[in-house]
């Protein structure tokens, strides 16, 4: 079956009579994607070899030679990229092989007291930890944009919807701050995930630990981990950290997708609530008038792929016994894909929030036309005429029906028309029916009243250091 009977693998070929088939080489190779880990791999190897030298497991002079050699390999990767040779399988063997070419047989001492199993677990944790930091930075920019625009529009009135039907007037600032709250929870999920993953698997070796007198606390500290992990079997087979990241990423993507969907709806001509920035829109090759919300649509689309990444890794992991199995090599593509999509989605939505023109005149008109203050009429009947809410609801329904049949707003009905529906109504009702009065009245904690929104914006600005 082997296409290459001339030689077995130089890293593990001792027990093999012949080399792998081309199919084996291709299915085995992770270098096409795990070369993205090269910085983490070099960093972790340098921490490992420094510890080996300090512990006298390799001669200190050899440790220095190896460490300097790793710097040279890194410099080459920086300039020319990581070479892709399937025979070397992955980033770990690629780097070690190049190191051997540069420093000679002493390179073979680097892998003492280490396995690719703890090596990849360490490299990948370092990578995912950075991805958490990138997500947190992106979320901070989004939050700042949301809070800034919400502050500008604490008093701008728009229809609030349930079932996408006009429900009650709200302020645009309140609506935007709803997404700030979602982003705040997303931040807490990434922060939480980062804190939980911040333990070093390095030194767990293949699965059982090692007989060499290593110092796992030293390598953990060198890699900015809080401490070493506590169980070697768990350490080489745990991918919870990647799943934690993907869960936080999927939840964030879901929020971004909902926000994108709002912009898509608001930008459509019948709504006309926003004019999207040209810089985040595209035209049509056939319809000259078109300006399409493609960036928002792609954020909505990419959310599906990010959620798919989470599903993919969960399914990879769910049937694996302890400890490492090669299935786990498939952990990286979904995480890499999700991370680059998430970065793009966060940037796109931040730009959209920053640069969209809100057409507050159209929003206000829509709020006025949609009988959005019907609840305020019912509430007035309860408060001023001491009518039970259910009855007030019924009376208000009749008023809406009449207004609708006449094609007018509620506050455009005459007092006589309203009194014909219920004699307990007096002229005091009219001020309560304006959209301003409606939002101003909803000053319960977390409500839409401009004074409340301004309080929440002030708190958020303080939290963000704005
Ligand atoms: N390329 C492998 C991965 O990404 C590295 C670990 C290989 N370990 C092994 N026992 N074959 O998972």
284 in catalytic set: yes
User: Average pLDDT over the chain, rounded to whole?
Assistant: 95
Average pLDDT of the segment spanning 156-185: 97
Cβ atoms of 45 and 116 within 8 Å: the answer is: no
Q: Which of 12-16, 317-321, 338-342 has the lowest mean pLDDT?
A: 12-16
> Ligand 1: distance of its center to the CA of 33 in Å?
13
The tens digit of pLDDT for each residue in 335-355 reads: 999 999 999 999 999 999 999
Q: How far is CA 83 from the centre of its chain?
A: 31
Residues 21, 188, 268, 284: which is the catalytic one? 284
pLDDT greater than 90 at residue 202:
yes
- Find the largest Cα–Cα distance for the chain: 102
Please tell me the predicted confidence (pLDDT) of residue 7: 60
Cβ atoms of 355 and 277 within 8 Å: the answer is: yes
Alpha-helix runs per DSSP H in 81-207: 91-103, 116-152, 172-197
Our CA dihedral for 27, 341, 320, 36, rounded to 10 degrees, sits at 50
The tens digit of pLDDT for each residue in 82-138 reads: 999 999 999 999 999 999 999 999 999 999 999 999 999 999 999 999 999 999 999
Average pLDDT of the segment spanning 381-389: 94
Cα separation, 340 vs 332, in Å, equals 12
The tens digit of pLDDT for each residue in 214-271 reads: 999 999 999 999 999 999 999 999 999 999 999 999 999 999 999 999 999 999 999 9
Give Cβ neighbours of residue 54 (< 8 Å, ≥ 6 apart). Answer: 60, 63, 215, 218
Cα separation, 433 vs 12, in Å, equals 80
Please tell me the predicted confidence (pLDDT) of residue 27: 95
393 in catalytic set: no
pLDDT band at 282 (very low <50, low <70, confident <90, very high): confident
Please tell me the predicted confidence (pLDDT) of residue 213: 98
Nearest alpha carbon, ligand 1 atom 12:
329
Contact residues of ligand 1, CB 6 A cut-off: 30, 34, 90, 116-117, 120, 324, 326, 328-329
> Ligand 1: distance of its center to the CA of 116 in Å?
6
* Residue 46 in tokens: 């340098």
Atom of ligand 1 nearest to the CA of 328: 12
| Site of tokens 């006298």 | 56
- What is the DSSP pairing of strand 199-200 with strand 227-228? parallel
Cα separation, 19 vs 270, in Å, equals 66
Please tell me the predicted confidence (pLDDT) of residue 439: 97
Average pLDDT of the segment spanning 282-293: 82
Please tell me the predicted confidence (pLDDT) of residue 234: 98
Cα separation, 23 vs 276, in Å, equals 50
**DSSP helix/strand/coil, 275:** strand
pLDDT band at 2 (very low <50, low <70, confident <90, very high): very low
* Residue 138 in tokens: 């992106």
The tens digit of pLDDT for each residue in 426-441 reads: 999 999 999 999 999 9
Please tell me the predicted confidence (pLDDT) of residue 54: 98
Average pLDDT of the segment spanning 294-311: 98
């Amino acid at each position: 079956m082997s296409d290459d009977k001339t030689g077995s693998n130089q890293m593990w070929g001792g027990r093999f009579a012949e080399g792998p088939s081309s199919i084996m080489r291709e299915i085995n190779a992770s270098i096409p994607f795990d070369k993205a880990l090269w910085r983490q791999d070099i960093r972790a190897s340098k921490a490992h070899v420094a510890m080996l030298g300090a512990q006298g497991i390799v001669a200190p002079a050899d440790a220095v030679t190896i460490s300097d050699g790793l710097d040279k390999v890194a410099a080459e990767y920086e300039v020319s990229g990581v070479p892709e040779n399937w025979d070397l399988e992955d980033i770990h063997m690629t780097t070690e092989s190049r190191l051997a070419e540069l420093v000679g047989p002493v390179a073979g001492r680097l892998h003492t007291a280490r396995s690719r199993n703890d090596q990849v677990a360490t490299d990948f944790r370092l990578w995912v930890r950075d991805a958490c930091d990138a997500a947190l930075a992106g979320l901070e920019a989004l939050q700042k944009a949301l809070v800034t625009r919400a502050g500008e529009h604490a008093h701008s009135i728009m229809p609030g919807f349930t079932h996408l039907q006009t429900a009650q007037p709200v302020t645009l600032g309140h609506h935007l701050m709803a997404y700030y709250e979602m982003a705040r929870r997303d931040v807490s999920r990434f922060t939480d995930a980062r804190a939980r993953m911040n333990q070093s698997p390095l030194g767990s070796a293949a699965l059982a630990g090692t007989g060499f007198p290593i110092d796992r606390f030293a390598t953990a500290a060198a890699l900015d981990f809080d401490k070493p992990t506590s169980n070697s079997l768990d350490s080489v087979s745990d991918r919870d950290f990647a799943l934690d990241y993907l869960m936080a990423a999927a939840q964030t993507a879901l929020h971004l997708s909902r926000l994108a969907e709002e912009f898509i709806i608001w930008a459509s001509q019948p709504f006309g609530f926003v004019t999207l920035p040209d810089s985040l829109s595209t035209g049509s090759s056939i319809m000259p008038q078109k300006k399409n919300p493609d960036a928002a649509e792609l954020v909505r689309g990419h959310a599906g792929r990010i959620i798919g990444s989470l599903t993919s890794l969960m399914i990879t992991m769910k049937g694996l016994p302890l400890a490492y199995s090669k299935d786990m090599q498939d952990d990286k593509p979904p995480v890499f894909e999700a991370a680059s999509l998430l970065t793009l989605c966060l940037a796109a939505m931040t730009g959209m929030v920053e640069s969209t023109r809100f057409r507050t005149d159209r929003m206000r008109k829509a709020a006025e036309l949609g009988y959005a203050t019907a609840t305020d009429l019912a509430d007035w009947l309860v408060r001023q005429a001491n009518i039970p809410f259910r009855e007030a609801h019924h009376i208000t329904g009749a008023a809406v029906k009449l207004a609708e049949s006449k094609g007018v707003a509620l506050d455009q009905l005459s007092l006589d028309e309203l009194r014909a529906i219920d004699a307990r109504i007096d002229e005091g009702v009219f001020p309560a029916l304006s959209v301003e009065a409606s939002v101003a009245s909803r000053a319960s904690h977390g409500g839409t009243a401009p004074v409340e929104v301004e309080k929440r914006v002030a708190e958020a600005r303080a939290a963000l250091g704005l």
